[in-house]
Structure 1
Amino acid sequence: MADSTQPLSARAKFAVTAGKAAAAVSRAAGRGSGSVIGGKVALRVDPELLARLAGHLDVVLVSATNGKTTTTRLIAEALRAGGPVVSNALGANMPAGITSALSGGAEARYGVIEVDEKYLTTVAEDVHPKIVALLNLSRDQLDRAAETRMLAERWREGLQDSKATVVANADDPLVVWAASSSANVVWVAAGQEWKDDAWSCPACGGVMHRPDDTHWACGECGFGRPAPTWVLSHGQVIDPHGSAWPIRLQLPGRANQANATTAAAVAATFGIHPQVALQRMESVAAVAGRYDVVSYQGRDIRLLLAKNPAGWLETFSLIDPAPAPVLLSVNARGADGTDTSWLWDVDYTRLAGRPVAVIGDRRLDLAVRLEVANVDFGVYDTLDQAIAQLPAGRIEAIANYTAFQDLRRIVGN
């Protein structure tokens, strides 16, 4: 367990109080949870507050392009077998949101923190994590995020002097290159379905060879896949001793099994047995509204989040078989990234043969993409209009970040 720190100073206590007050005002005004504005106010009062709040915690940082919110939740549930946990469960993953979350963790033993890819090294410098979990890197928010190799290089530089144990996905070349600078790495064979950002070697720029879905190596410099000690295989976690532990999640899909495998590896570093960790993960039915099935206008609607090409690819593997109706919603607000060119990287031909309804701020951009993919669809101004035109059956609603939040507000989730 982390060493105890001195009690918070008067300034730090005032910063926490001011942040909570600002968050309460934001919630009362109907502007969301208030976690971000609360954290911003608190850090303005005490710029060192994040480090102070994390001082007594065993901190786990989780970063990735996809899956970090769910993996954070799974790790938090597993670690509760060892003591109280504080976590940014709602996904506010930049310093302000993290500060706000940790302000409620005075009695916690563990801090399980999701971190935006751009802020990983900055946050790590403040909180001195015991574990850093790295899941994947792919293109996302092209107007604000750095090119994927640049992000990997930033991670690599930030981790090379860290004392943290890095739990990293051995199947993502960018993650492997970033994690390889660390002195202590636990490799997890979690898989990588989206490969379009990993065809060139991050070490030398050479062509990456993939003889099968498992192995990869650079043909120029020899940089290649490390041998994993934790493996996801046929719905089971294989631990470093070769023992197999079944995954029985309520959350759907192979991607969530991969998230659970990483979570089990993280929990094991704190002495929590894989069987115990995986059993605790079974209680997670939804994560911040994701995967929830809601009733609205007499219809069952399953809410699915897909923020980038890799996320859409994983989500398509989850939806009910054709001809189940599908609702698509895309925005391009600040939290989404304003560049929608990524729509052309998504294989929407997977929706062929289904009734498809399109809504959202950028519904016309999406309509053009679907037209090119030869997918039949209708464009609607509102959710209610779309539902009225979709045939019977559970509706699979797939939306990017702010569009997903819009849907949750409309359906009361």
Structure 2
Amino acid sequence: MAGNSDPLTPRAKLAVTAGKAVAAASRAAGRGSGSVIGGRVALKLDPDLLARLAQNLDVILVSATNGKTTTTRLIAEALRAAGPVVSNALGANMPAGITSALSGGSDAKFGVIEVDEKYLAGVARDTDPKCIALLNLSRDQLDRAAETRMLAENWREGLAGSKAVVVANADDPLVVWAASSSPNVVWVAAGQMWKDDAWSCPSCGGVMQRPGDDWYCGECGFRRPTPSWALSGDHVLDPHGSAWPIHLQLPGRANKANAASSAAVAAVFGVPPQVALERMYQVQAVAGRYDVVQFQGRDLRLLLAKNPAGWLETFSLIDPPPTPVILSVNARGADGTDTSWLWDVDYTRLTGHPIFVIGDRKLDLAVRLEVANQSFQVCESLDQAVQQAPPGRIEVIANYTAFQDLRRRVGN
């Protein structure tokens, strides 16, 4: 364990101390958790700090377009059965935030780290992970994220020859293409609801054939690998064919899929599926997502959806009509400023729900809903939307910064 043989040089210790001081000052000034600015300062003082902090940990990296924060939480919970865990649980997933998280875990055995897709190859190089979980790749932040095929290529090159056990979703062709360069892959049938980014073969550009749950390229023979783990209804099937029940407090099929991948990761470290899945039940909400809060005498359930694949999953778990739905979309730096992705979301799934639209880009969303033939009201604020909503619990769906705005307003 890291506490027994201190891997940190005097310079690294200074960097950690300075980073923590800056983070504390940032928190005191009310500017958020301070983890990113603290990590930046620490890395400026010692550019090798992330590698030093990781060297006595069993590091697990988690990357995906959707579900990485939740899956990171589920894996961390499962691995606590085998020893202390340090994790960037609040989702600061670029090198500065990761460095900041690891600098707080001197006695940890495991480092469970969520990594932004664009940084995966670099963070893997620095941290020498024992395991990497790859869940999905889909379009996101169109103004600055690389096209998904390029991201898959970046992963493929960055992970080629990696010693890590790669736990990868066999149902996402882009993930399979990315993981196929690794010598040690555990395939999980976790499903793929959003298929619009994987109609052409990532290997040759040919057209993908998709009979049932299978997929293959008719031109080059690139095909779905045989999974050793699978999500089957409310159970995880392990490599021996045993079915383990999934009991989660988190809603929806996507979270069952996250649990299946997390169980496969836990097994790499000797934690049996039954123990791993029982521990995952502890996770109630992840950074405010799925929380039900009281606001103006009403129950609001807060749901985060940042891109078309995320919105599709979220629509599948909201209560049926006539449950009122509030939609909030911003387009600030952290969201990506291009809102053209709204046209990729199938808003006809909201037919029958009273819809209320708020957020910086409420008019962009209003035009999209108009074309989808939905009836809705545009409101100036959350308060106004809640006042106008008919009785019953309200589902509130927001993208990234809109979600943070909502949490601040409801005091969550």
Q: Sort the TM-score into its range (normalised by shorter chain).
A: over 0.9
- Per the alignment, residue 259 of structure 1 pairs with 258
Aligned twin of 2:227: 228
1:209 paired with 2:209, answer yes
Kept in 1: contact 2:7–2:55 (CA 8 A)? no
Where 1:265 maps in the other structure, the secondary structure is helix
Residue of structure 2 in register with 1:239 after alignment:
238
Q: State whether structure 2 residue 191 is matched by structure 1 residue 170.
A: no
Q: Return the alpha-carbon distance in structure 1 between the equivalents of residues 381 and 22 of structure 2.
A: 33
| Paired residue type of 1:323 | P
Structure 1: distance between partners of 2:203 and 2:384: 50
Does the residue aligned with 2:244 lie in a helix, a strand or coil?
strand
> CA offsets, 1:250-271, max 9 Å, x none?
0001100000000000000000
Q: Does the CA contact (< 8 Å) of 1:327 and 1:397 recur in 2?
A: yes
Q: How does 1:7-406 map to 2 (within 5 A)?
A: 7-212=7-212, 214-406=213-405
Distance 1:356 1:19 in 2: 44
Q: Is the 8 A contact 1:190 1:232 kept in 2?
A: yes
Following superposition, which runs of at least 4 residues in structure 1 exceed 4 angstroms of deviation?
1-6
**Compared with structure 1, are the counterparts of its residues 292 and 27 closer, same or farther at alpha carbon in structure 2 (3 Å cutoff)?**
same
- CA deviations 1:49-81 (Å, max 9, x no partner) are 000111110000000000000000000000000
One-letter amino acid of the counterpart of residue 210, structure 1? R
Letter in 2 for 1:136: N
Aligned mates of 2:149, 2:71 — CA distance in 1: 23
Give unpaired runs (5+ residues) of structure 2: none
Q: Which amino acid aligns with 1:61?
A: L
Q: Deviations over 1:159-212 (max 9, x none)?
A: 112111100000000000000000000000000000000000000000000011
Q: Secondary structure at the match of 1:290?
A: coil
Amino acid at match of 1:30: G
Structure 2: distance between partners of 1:48 and 1:241: 42
Q: Is the 8 A contact 1:4 1:56 kept in 2?
A: no
**Greater shift in the superposed pair: 287-296 or 6-15:** 6-15
Q: CA deviation at 1:7?
A: 3.3
Partners of 1:7 and 1:383 in 2: how far apart?
49
Deviation digits for residues 67-111 of structure 1 (CA, Å, limit 9, x no counterpart):
000000000000000000000000000000000000001100000
2:372 & 2:152 partners in 1: Cα distance?
32
What is the deviation of 1:331?
0.4
1:102-154 CA-partner distances (Å, limit 9, x unpaired): 00011000000000000000000100000000000000001111000000000
Q: Once the 2 structures are TM-superposed, how far is the Cα of residue 5 of structure 1 from its aligned partner?
A: 5.6
The count of residues paired between Structure 1 and Structure 2 equals 412
CA distance in 1, matches of 2:90, 2:45: 24
Q: Secondary structure at the match of 2:111?
A: strand
Give the drift of 1:29. 1.2
Partners of 1:3 and 1:122 in 2: CA distance: 26
Decide whether the 8 Å contact of 2:62 with 2:132 is kept in 1: yes
TM-score by length of structure 2 reads 0.99
Amino acid at match of 2:245: P
- Separation of aligned partners in 2, 1:166 and 1:407: 36
Structure 1: distance between partners of 2:3 and 2:147 = 38
| Whole-angstrom CA distance in 2 between matches of 1:31 and 1:19 | 15
- State the SS of the aligned residue for 2:226: coil
Distance 1:105 1:277 in 2: 22
Paired residue type of 1:108 = A
Stretches of structure 1 lacking an aligned partner (at least 5 in a row): none
Distance 2:43 2:3 in 1: 23
Q: Distance in 2 between matches of 1:35 and 1:334?
A: 18
1:192-251 per-residue CA deviation (whole Å, 9 max, x = no partner) reads: 000000000000000000011x10000100100000000100110000001010000000
SS of residue in 2 equivalent to 1:19: helix
Question: Could you list the per-position Cα deviations for residues 269-292 of structure 1 after superposition, in whole angstroms to 9, with x for gaps in the alignment?
Answer: 000000000000001010000000
Q: Distance in 1 between matches of 2:5 and 2:132?
A: 22
Q: Is the 8 A contact 2:358 2:381 kept in 1?
A: yes
Asked if structure 2 preserves the Cα contact closer than 8 Å seen for 1:3 and 1:55, the reply is: no
Cα pair 2:188 2:228 within 8 Å, conserved: yes
Indicate the percent of aligned positions where both proteins have the same amino acid.
80
Shift of 1:6: 4.4
Q: Classify the secondary structure of the residue corresponding to 2:278.
A: helix
CA distance in 2, matches of 1:5, 1:291: 40
Question: Following TM superposition, by how much is the alpha carbon of 1:31 offset from its aligned partner in structure 2, in angstroms?
Answer: 1.0
Give the aligned residue type for 1:111.
G
Matched residue type, 1:144: R
2:188 and 2:336 map into 1 onto residues whose CA distance is 30
1: CA distance, partners of 2:274 / 2:7: 37
CA distance in 2, matches of 1:347, 1:7: 51
- Residue 18 of structure 2 aligns to which amino acid in structure 1? A
**Aligned-pair CA distance for 1:10:** 1.1
**TM-score in terms of structure 1 length:** 0.99
